[in-house]
Amino acid sequence: MRGLMQDWPLLCSKVIDHAANEHPLREVVSRSVEGPMHRTNYREVRQRALKIAQLLEREGYGLGDRIATMAWNTWRHLECWYGIMGVGAIYHTLNPRLFPEQLAWIMNDAEDKLLFVDLTFLPLIEALAPKVASLKKVIVLTDAEHMPETKLPGAVAYEEWLKGADGDFVWKEFDENTAAGMCYTSGTTGNPKGVVYSHRSNVLHSMIAQAPDAMNISSSSRMLPIVPLFHANGWGIALTTPMTGATLVMPGPKMDGASVYQLLTEERVTCTAAVPTVWLMLLQHLEAHGGELPDLERVIIGGSACPRRVIDAFQNRYGAQVVHAWGMTEMSPLGTLCAIKPEYADLTGDELLAVEETQGFPPFGVEMKVTDDENRTLPRDGKTFGRLKVRGPAVAKAYYKDQGAELFDDERWFDTGDVAHIDPHGYMKITDRAKDVIKSGGEWISSIEIENIAVGHPDVAEAAVIGLSHPKWDERPLLVCVRREGRDPTKEDVLGYLDGKIAKWWMPDDVVFVDEIPHTAAGKIRKTALRDEFRGYVLPTA
């Protein structure tokens, strides 16, 4: 017997409809690229998104067309997402921090036909456009007054373009498994791989993300996503926030400590999300200039491992709960979040911080396991680490054009490329990327674990650990540190600090200080570049 419930396809247009119907006047506040703060609401965002869809259809764009955006988090970028999805096209977020050649490759691979671009990136796009044959038109996200001269094909100012529509449009309806969005992962080897989200996966992911043990967002939240929409599906926040009716505050192009602090306080933000680097900048700003965060309840931190001192500072100095999260572009992106289960509710001090340093446990909708190289499931004992594998309705089952097929097995498990262990209460801890793990005498050493502890040293600003070849042990760890400004730690200081905090055989064989550690476009440490830099380096123990 079939259930007798309605067919109600999970389309992203329903999310903005819901926000506009049930929370019409809830504010969407942005720092504009032009400078001033801008205020709108869900009703207006929907109305303008309808205009976009209407214009796109009129100009011949529709089902399955890839439409790129290269933009900061603002109300205009949000409208574009809904307008594009509402006509059945696919938003394709471009990360402006990638190399131009990589961007051209990605745009050609996706065959982007149209591009919405912020003023900031116009020079970059002027250089790129001639290399992308599919690109027919560029819409600059500004008004006539701020529109610069440009020779880009069919370039038009967004606000002028919108004037051509009245918004009398009905969202297109189609199967919920239709593609809605696209985001490329910048693998450190090989070409970038396209991840294609569906309407269904986006809607389910947003329902999953708002739960109390996940992002915990409701209509009374005031959410500031600092993580850009062009990183890993913008952590789904462009959908989760309207779905809950929460106020949305967006940082535009400014993500420095002072600008973030201004938004957090003036807009009375209760919940915010970004990578650790952003929070380190904010905490440095607060240390230097003083200030409190009276409204802030929750800080969601992910993208790379969150150092203990960041968790400690937010919780014990500023009174905001840290939710350490792990995810991937391939997972829409949420995988796990670190809420506190009753089993750990009585912990305090360092014991609590040790749990909060883990990446937490998956919400409903994410299945997870750790296996050895022969695909045997490893015990959840909090120590045994192996390959982390996941599956679920918002996890990729393939890449665009079937790249990287070897990462998906017959039972749909996706090999994340991360190495992790899981404790008896289900808390997962990333110990490395599979290709960064250090193999010493047949045992694995977690580079991330050592890095996390090293940055706890008051004189160390950033730390990275890589494996260097060793005649006896195969590989041994080298610790690379950036000194904090005005401080001068020695190798012995840093090793002394690590002593007793990690196993003796994990101790780095050497410590070197550099001015800068190389980063990827997503702000993660570029271990490949670091390994290249230290290729010929001879460890004192070798």
Q: Provide the minimum distance between the beta carbon of 416 and ligand AMP in the complex, in angstroms, as a whole number.
A: 5
Exactly one of 305, 313, 394, 481 binds ligand AMP (CB under 6 A); which one?
305
What string marks each residue from 369 to 408 as x (binds ligand AMP by CB under 6 A) or -?
Answer: ----------------------------------------
Q: Provide the minimum distance between the beta carbon of 247 and ligand AMP in the complex, in angstroms, as a whole number.
A: 26
Looking at residues 130 to 189 of the shown chain, list those that interact with ligand AMP (rule: CB under 6 A).
Answer: 185
Interface region with ligand AMP, contact rule CB under 6 A, candidates 112-120, 236-244, 298-306, 476-484: 298-306
Interface region with ligand AMP, contact rule CB under 6 A, candidates 22-30, 61-69, 248-256, 413-421: 413-421
- Token couple for 421: 């262990």
- Token couple for 377: 């499931």
Nearer to ligand AMP, 40 or 233 (CB): 233
User: Distance between CA 438 and CA 422 in Å, rounded?
Assistant: 19
129 φ, ψ to 5°? -50, -45
Task: State the residue number with the nearest CB to ligand AMP.
Answer: 329
Nearer to ligand AMP, 122 or 180 (CB): 180
455 contributes a contact to ligand AMP by CB under 6 A: no
User: Distance between CA 375 and CA 254 in Å, rounded?
Assistant: 45
Exactly one of 95, 178, 259, 359 binds ligand AMP (CB under 6 A); which one?
359
* Separate counts of helices (H) and strands (E) for the chain: 15, 24
User: Distance between CA 409 and CA 412 in Å, rounded?
Assistant: 5
Looking at residues 422 to 441 of the shown chain, list those that interact with ligand AMP (rule: CB under 6 A).
Answer: 430, 433
User: Distance between CA 184 and CA 197 in Å, rounded?
Assistant: 11
Exactly one of 13, 329, 332, 447 binds ligand AMP (CB under 6 A); which one?
329
Exactly one of 86, 333, 386, 489 binds ligand AMP (CB under 6 A); which one?
333
Looking at residues 493 to 522 of the shown chain, list those that interact with ligand AMP (rule: CB under 6 A).
Answer: 522
What string marks each residue from 221 to 250 as x (binds ligand AMP by CB under 6 A) or -?
Answer: -----------x------------------
192 contributes a contact to ligand AMP by CB under 6 A: no
What's the order of all strands across the beta sheet hosting 222-225?
37-41, 27-31, 247-250, 222-225, 271-274, 298-301, 321-327, 334-337
Residue 444 appears among annotated catalytic residues: yes
Q: Of 79, 267, 330, 475, which is the active-site residue?
A: 330
* β-bridge partners, 336: 326
Residue 321 amino acid letter = Q
User: How many amino acids of this chain bind ligand AMP (CB under 6 A)?
Assistant: 20
Exactly one of 303, 362, 386, 489 binds ligand AMP (CB under 6 A); which one?
303
Residue 416 appears among annotated catalytic residues: no
Residue 105 appears among annotated catalytic residues: no
Q: Of 111, 435, 439, 505, which is the active-site residue?
A: 439
DSSP secondary structure code for residue 314 in this structure: I
Closest Cα partner for 72 from 270, 269, 226? 226
Positions of E strands within 127-199: 137-140, 156-157, 179-185, 193-198
Largest CA distance in the chain: 73
Q: Of 185, 272, 336, 431, which is the active-site residue?
A: 185
Residue 330 appears among annotated catalytic residues: yes
User: Distance between CA 117 and CA 99 in Å, rounded?
Assistant: 17
Encode 220-247 in three state secondary structure.
CCEEEECCCCCCHHHHHHHHHHHHHCCE
User: Distance between CA 348 and CA 275 in Å, rounded?
Assistant: 25
- Token couple for 19: 């926000």
326 contributes a contact to ligand AMP by CB under 6 A: yes
Q: Enumerate binding residues for ligand AMP (CB under 6 A).
A: 185, 232, 302-305, 324-329, 333, 359, 416-418, 430, 433, 522
> Where in the sequence numbering do the catalytic residues fall?
185, 330, 439, 444
